[in-house]
Amino acid sequence: METGTTFDLKARLASWREGLKNHSAIGSDDIQELESHLLDTMDAMRRARLSEEEAFLVAAHRIGHPEELEKQYRCVRPAAVWRDRAQWMIVGIMAMWVVSGVSHLASNLVLLLGGRYAANGVALGYGGLAVQLLLLGGFACLGQRQLAQASVKNNRPLSGVRRLGIPGLMIGLLVTAVVVRISSGLVQVQAVRMISATVFGGYFLVARWGEAILTTAMVFAVGLWIARSQRSIKNAVPILMIVMLFSALTAGCKPGGASGNSGQSTPSNQTAASGFESCLDLAKSDTNAAVEAFLQLDLSKGALFSSGTPLSYSEVEFIKLPQAAMEKVQQQALADLALVKQLVRGVKAKGQQAKSTGNAAHAKECDAQLALLGERLEGPGNLKISQLVGKAIRKMAAE
């Protein structure tokens, strides 16, 4: 029976092969074998005086629908199916690296550009997080749009990507991830050179805990989406359990945890300078006035240093800094510790002077304040060099 339209066998065969390629369980050798059977069946139909179009339709029907063929091949070769899934899992992880690298690059650009005009590291940190959130939302919308288009066309997602081949896709993603990461690192190094250690400290603290929260939320959202796409709740439960476990592990990797400097790890503490920092600033111009102010402080309460300042870091937080930032923070920390030593010498001299004049009570007060300062600096939540200075101060106070 003629349909009145020209039947293009080559085009129909290409479309038929493409439909099979979109099913991972059906390999290229399988497609060639199925096509051979298809053509043989068509020849038999032509001998039965069917038109070329009718012969193709009958032969394709007898070969079977691609979905049914995929189920059969999955049962015959389950190992190949899991190998394909593992490859796509690796592709997904590498794609995650690319997306994460792009978001980090954007955040570091905010730091580089905003650091020239803003002196508030916390504000820059939140700005970087906002940019990352917008980018991640954009990637999510793009992915959802691609899936929706694939559904409308009755096609498998990423069918265009599949044509490139998984090895080619992996190489492309790897190169992209490396280029993006290198670019992000260069931008961050340039930003660290341009801005103060305090501004970078505030930005870094906000960015680190914020990225941990964003990663956890993103992983959990992907898990919910996958679970929702499953036709069976029975299939969705294991996926949700795995994603929730990974989310919990990700949240547990948040910096500034139990080993961090207590009371100094959250960016909300970066407000006005602490009383002790005010004494250090005063010591730059008037040591005697700084000593008097120091003796009036209650060192048993609150943090010694504002969050984001060099001496507010714990050793664990410090070693997580990028190399360029680490060098800058260390240089500023040494300068601040030099002021601490200057202040301590002034307090010790005042105590010795009070002792020589018979004012033992005031001398004891100076030593007690120094001992308390040494104890606070020697705590495990401080830099290692701060701990050593604290130990020396306690020893000096006991003399």
CA distance 106 to 345: 46
Checking if the pLDDT of 1 tops 50, the result is: no
247-263 CB burial, b ≥16 within 10 A, e <16: beebeeebbbeeebbee
Domain end among 75, 104, 124: 75
Domain assignment present for residue 17? The answer is yes
Domain assignment present for residue 313? The answer is yes
Q: Is 377 found in the same domain as 290? A: yes
Q: Is 164 found in the same domain as 100? A: yes
Which regions of the chain does DSSP assign to beta strands (E)?
none
Domain assignment present for residue 154? The answer is yes
Domain end among 28, 52, 75: 75
The band of 162, judged by pLDDT with boundaries at 50, 70 and 90, is: low
The band of 97, judged by pLDDT with boundaries at 50, 70 and 90, is: confident
Q: Is 86 found in the same domain as 35? A: no
Q: Give me Rg for the CA atoms of the chain.
A: 33
The residue to which tokens 């290692």 are assigned = 384
The band of 7, judged by pLDDT with boundaries at 50, 70 and 90, is: confident
Q: What is the pTM of this model?
A: 0.50
Q: Is 372 found in the same domain as 386? A: yes
Least confident range of 3-12, 80-89, 144-153: 144-153
Q: How many CB atoms lie within 10 A of CB 141?
A: 10
Q: Is 174 found in the same domain as 113? A: yes
pLDDT recorded at residue 225: 60
Instruction: Judge residue 149's burial from the number of C-beta atoms within 10 Å of its C-beta, 0-12 exposed, 13-18 middle, 19 or more buried.
Output: exposed
Least confident range of 101-115, 155-169, 210-224: 155-169
Domain assignment present for residue 15? The answer is yes
The band of 98, judged by pLDDT with boundaries at 50, 70 and 90, is: confident
Q: Is 97 found in the same domain as 194? A: yes
CA distance 203 to 267: 9
Q: Is 127 found in the same domain as 190? A: yes
Domain end among 206, 225, 259: 206
Checking if the pLDDT of 231 tops 70, the result is: no
What domain count does the chain have? Answer: 3
CA distance 218 to 147: 18
CA distance 64 to 34: 10
Q: Is 101 found in the same domain as 66? A: no
SS3 (DSSP) at 215? helix
Q: Is 121 found in the same domain as 54? A: no
Checking if the pLDDT of 270 tops 50, the result is: no
Domain assignment present for residue 339? The answer is yes
**Residue type at position 250:** T
Domain assignment present for residue 3? The answer is no
Q: Is 201 found in the same domain as 273? A: no
Average pLDDT over residues 277-290: 88
SS3 (DSSP) at 259? coil
Backbone angles phi, psi at 359, to 5 degrees: -95, 75
CA distance 380 to 376: 9
Range of 286's domain?
267-398
Domain assignment present for residue 221? The answer is no
Q: Is 90 found in the same domain as 69? A: no
CA distance 77 to 255: 45
Q: Which long-range contacts (CB under 8 A, 24 or more apart) does 127-134 make?
A: 128/203, 128/206, 128/207, 128/210, 129/206, 129/207, 129/210, 129/211, 129/214, 131/103, 131/106, 131/107, 132/103, 132/104, 132/106, 132/107, 132/210, 132/211, 132/214, 133/214
Domain assignment present for residue 224? The answer is no
Q: Is 393 found in the same domain as 271? A: yes
pLDDT recorded at residue 222: 62
pLDDT digits (tens, 9 = 90+) for 187-230: 887 887 777 777 777 787 777 777 777 766 666 666 566 555 54
